[in-house]
Amino acid sequence: MKVGIVGSGQVGATAAYAMVMSGVGREIVMVDVSRERAQAQADDIAHAVPFSNPLDIHAGDYADLAGSRAIVIAAGVGRQPGETRVQLLQRNAAIFRQMVPQVLAHAADAVLVIATNPVDVMTHLTARFAAEIGVPSTRIIGTGTTLDTARFRALLADRVGVDAHHVHGYVVGEHGDSQVLTWSLVTVGGVHIDEFCALRGITMDEPTKVDIDARVRFAGRAIIAGKGATFYGIGSALARIVDVILHDQRAIMTVCTPLPEVAGVHDVTVSLPHLVGGDGILASLPVSLDETETIALQASAHGVREAIESLNM
């Protein structure tokens, strides 16, 4: 099974490394505006193959993406000093306008997995560009709040002393400061977290929830302040999403994809629980949020919609 990665920077390369370590796929093609960088990343990761899983990884061009079942898009530029968010969006939108048609010209049947930030807006634009050549939005998936949901579950698991695999709860909305932690839906082993904590004598009061919320919401900001970028978490999230696609695992994930309406906001891309499989988005699942969470989701969706409109595209 073949996977393409467009953009061989820290995120793209870490995603490739995570796939090699986990044995995701059988062939990885790395494409970058700098062929030299793509080659260097592929060579470096290839040297880890003897210690992990049999997998062919190499650099290539757009034409080499042919036959890929999933393609990770991690290309784009970062914000420059003094640059506004809209200016950054405009620059990345121009890059995607050129890149997406070239990718799909050679891999028209692939599912595209978008990692470039702001991921909600870039996923929305990718779906728009893909639609112009007849590719449905269900095959355009953004990483969305997949990583935020993992952070939320990990912190909850640590607090209640239970393996994170048995803690369920979602982060929805924007992958950013307006994201919504769905406390009303959190369960541990099928028991609502408040009830579980009462049974176990664990404190889960409002100050504790506020602390966990802040550590999830601003995790990326804290990591960037300490080391300049985040890539291990998102690289692992990308490897997981690609694995789900390649093996049609039909997993429920908080990825983002264009939706006709979210909390009263029309034509917007934010994260909600989606059923993901070999064909991309198989279904969008409704969530029963409480009133406060619903208002917060609406505000989050409004913010993303405004960013989309700011591009005048």
- Kindly state whether residues 84 and 153 are assigned to the same domain: no
Token couple for 33: 């505006």
Quick check: 117 and 126 in contact, CB under 8 A?
Answer: no
Cα–Cα nearest to 16, from 96, 99, 74, 76? 74
Could you tell me which residues come within 8 angstroms of residue 188 by beta carbon, excluding any fewer than 6 positions away? Answer: 156, 160, 162, 166, 167, 168, 196
**Paired sense of beta strands 187-188 and 191-192, if any:** antiparallel
Strand partners, 111: 70
Residue 29: give its domain's CATH number: 3.40.50.720
Could you tell me which residues come within 8 angstroms of residue 242 by beta carbon, excluding any fewer than 6 positions away? Answer: 3, 15, 19, 24, 25, 70, 72, 113
Q: Please tell me which residue, 80 or 50, carries the higher pLDDT value.
A: 50
- Kindly state whether residues 119 and 131 are assigned to the same domain: yes
Token couple for 137: 């939005």
Rounded to two decimals, the pTM is: 0.95
- Kindly state whether residues 257 and 126 are assigned to the same domain: no
Cα–Cα nearest to 298, from 289, 307, 285? 289
What whole-number distance in Å separates Cα of residue 46 and Cα of residue 13? 11
Q: Determine the pLDDT at residue 286.
A: 86
Give the residue-averaged pLDDT of 32-38: 96
What whole-number distance in Å separates Cα of residue 79 and Cα of residue 287? 34
Token couple for 147: 């990583």
For the chain, give the percent of residues with pLDDT over 70.
Answer: 98
- Kindly state whether residues 153 and 113 are assigned to the same domain: no
Give whole-number Cα distances, 211 to 31, 155, 255, 290, in Å. 40, 10, 24, 20
- Kindly state whether residues 206 and 72 are assigned to the same domain: no
Residue ending a domain, among 142, 160, 176, is 142
Q: Is 175 a catalytic residue?
A: yes
- Kindly state whether residues 81 and 43 are assigned to the same domain: yes
- Kindly state whether residues 50 and 137 are assigned to the same domain: yes
Residue ending a domain, among 113, 142, 171, is 142
Residue ending a domain, among 93, 120, 142, is 142
Could you tell me which residues come within 8 angstroms of residue 165 by beta carbon, excluding any fewer than 6 positions away? Answer: none
- Kindly state whether residues 67 and 202 are assigned to the same domain: no
- Kindly state whether residues 101 and 244 are assigned to the same domain: no
Residue 188: give its domain's CATH number: 3.90.110.10
Task: Kindly indicate the confidence band of residue 84, based on its pLDDT and cuts at 50, 70 and 90.
Answer: low
- Kindly state whether residues 87 and 177 are assigned to the same domain: no
Give the residue-averaged pLDDT of 140-145: 98
Query: Which residue among 58, 166, 175, 192 is the active-site one?
Result: 175
For the chain, give the percent of residues with pLDDT over 90.
Answer: 88
- Kindly state whether residues 174 and 302 are assigned to the same domain: yes
Q: Determine the pLDDT at residue 230.
A: 87
What whole-number distance in Å separates Cα of residue 128 and Cα of residue 234? 24
Based on the structure, what is the number of domains in the chain?
Answer: 2
Token couple for 105: 């010209």
Domain limits for position 240:
146-309
**Which stretches does DSSP call E strand in the chain?**
2-6, 27-31, 56-59, 70-73, 111-114, 140-142, 167-168, 171-172, 180-181, 187-188, 191-192, 251-253, 256-262, 265-271, 274-277, 280-284
Task: Kindly indicate the confidence band of residue 127, based on its pLDDT and cuts at 50, 70 and 90.
Answer: very high
Q: Does the pLDDT at position 83 exceed 80?
A: no
